[in-house]
Amino acid sequence: MVGIRDVARRASVSPGTVSRVLNNDPTLSVAETTKDRIYAAIKELNYDIDKRKYVKRRLPSIGVITTTSKQKELDDPYFNALRIGLEQEARRLHLGLNRVYNLEDNPKTWQDFDKLGAIIIVGTVPETAVKRLSKQNSNIVVIDNPDINQEVDMVYADFDRMTKRVLQLFLEKGHQRIGYIGGYNIDIDEDGEKIYNENEKRLRAYQEFMTSNGLTSQVKLGLWEPLEGKRMMDEWLAEAQELPTAILVGSDPLSVGVYRSLQSANIAIGQDIEIASFDDIEIAEFLTPSLTTVHISAGEIAKAAVRLAKERIEEERQEPVIMTFPSKLVVRESFIPKS
């Protein structure tokens, strides 16, 4: 029996394009020659349009579920870059992006996702929630949660590799007392309930590295905010008999607080203690001393997620794709690796 994929192969287009042409999708922009080629393939293959299997039509639109609040998206440069990247790529590809759930704000019942073309999840949503969501719509792309064991597309930065690379550079510089300041991993379910845990990518990589090199872990965890960075560093200064000589900080906003604490204690960053961080937000370059940090292409990660969603919408593939985006260390004054 001739199917829509047979027509697509004969016409050298995707099955999604054939479907949208036959459904007179007003948002589809293809050349008339392409349409002629599709209808010619239908005639050659004797494909019965009227008796074709009914498939619920999905709109060329993407829903976004994000674990952050709207305010945090504005305040946090990383999440802000993700949102901008999603919006820019959706516009470029003529995809709607008009349903956004900010789980920290006012979670609503997850429904009608079966009418959307795909769903992009930003942040750590519990795997059970992803499984329930996939019953409504199997076209799911997850950003920044590589631990999901579902048949979904995933896009994330290579935090594990870069964490261990920076720690190796600390070690090569002669540091043995290497500390870590970071935030808890926060899973948020569809009811807005937060689950705090220590299963965070950078922390996990730090602990693995320290163990494998016979070094003692020194860790402080809190929320991912500048004031928390100051609080945790203040605690370290008050409690520790011997401070770390190098600290890896989980994010640049946390580093801002760490800087304030150390500078208030007259500890010279880059001399008495070396610091490296993650994000490479704008302020990193203008701290004193300037902050060595890992640059993460948040906007490009988001754009890749939209492209994967489009492939799912247009039925270009069935197998899940996992994309790891490379990061790079931007060396500044707070930590200069041994040459």
Q: With 0.85 as the threshold, say if the pTM is over it.
A: no
pLDDT at res. 330:
97
| pLDDT tens digits for range 199-244 | 999 999 999 999 999 999 999 999 999 999 999 999 999 998 889 9
| pLDDT tens digits for range 65-81 | 988 888 888 888 888 99
pLDDT at res. 107:
62
Q: 28 or 187, which is more confident?
A: 187
What does the pLDDT average to over 106-119? 76
Q: 46 or 50, which is more confident?
A: 46
pLDDT at res. 51:
55
The reply to whether 59-156+298-324 and 159-296 are identical in fold is yes
Residue 140 pLDDT exceeds 80: yes
Residues in the chain, total: 339
Measured between alpha carbons, how far is 31 from 266 in angstroms, rounded to an integer?
67
CB 47 within 8 A of CB 19: no
Instruction: Let me know how many helices (H) and strands (E) the chain has, helices first.
Output: 11, 14
In angstroms, the Cα distances linking 225 to 164, 177, 181, 182, 251 are 23, 24, 11, 10, 9
pLDDT class for 54, splitting at 50, 70, 90?
Answer: very low
Residue type, 113: F
* 189: nearest Cα among 128, 144, 99: 128
pLDDT at res. 224:
92
pLDDT at res. 228:
97
CATH topology of domain 159-296: Rossmann fold (3.40.50)
Measured between alpha carbons, how far is 57 from 60 in angstroms, rounded to an integer?
9
Residue type, 156: Y
| pLDDT tens digits for range 311-339 | 999 888 888 999 999 899 999 999 999 98
Local structure of residue 335 (DSSP, 8 states): B
Kindly give the interhelix angle for 226-239 and 252-264, rounded to the nearest 10 degrees: 40
What does the pLDDT average to over 84-94? 93
CB 334 within 8 A of CB 289: yes
| Residues whose CB is less than 8 angstroms from the CB of residue 106 and which lie 6 or more positions away in sequence, other chains included | 192
* Options 3.30.230.10, 3.40.50.300, 3.40.50.2300, 3.20.20.70; CATH of 59-156+298-324: 3.40.50.2300
Domain ranges of the chain: 4-45, 59-156+298-324, 159-296
pLDDT at res. 69:
84
What does the pLDDT average to over 147-166? 92
| pLDDT tens digits for range 299-314 | 999 999 999 999 999 8
Is residue 289 reached through a cis peptide bond, with omega within 30 degrees of 0 on the bond before it?
yes
* 218: nearest Cα among 179, 251, 245, 268: 179
Report the DSSP beta bridge partners of residue 335.
332
pLDDT class for 58, splitting at 50, 70, 90?
Answer: low
Please give the sequence-ordered ranges of beta strands (E in DSSP) within the chain, or none if there are none.
Answer: 59-66, 96-102, 116-122, 140-143, 153-157, 178-183, 185-188, 194-197, 218-222, 246-249, 274-279, 292-295, 322-325, 328-330
* 253: nearest Cα among 282, 274, 273, 217: 282
Percent of the chain exceeding pLDDT 90 equals 54
| pLDDT tens digits for range 244-283 | 999 999 999 999 999 999 999 999 999 999 999 999 999 9
pLDDT at res. 190:
74
How far the first Cα of the chain sits from its last, in Å, is 66
Local structure of residue 240 (DSSP, 8 states): -
What does the pLDDT average to over 287-304? 96
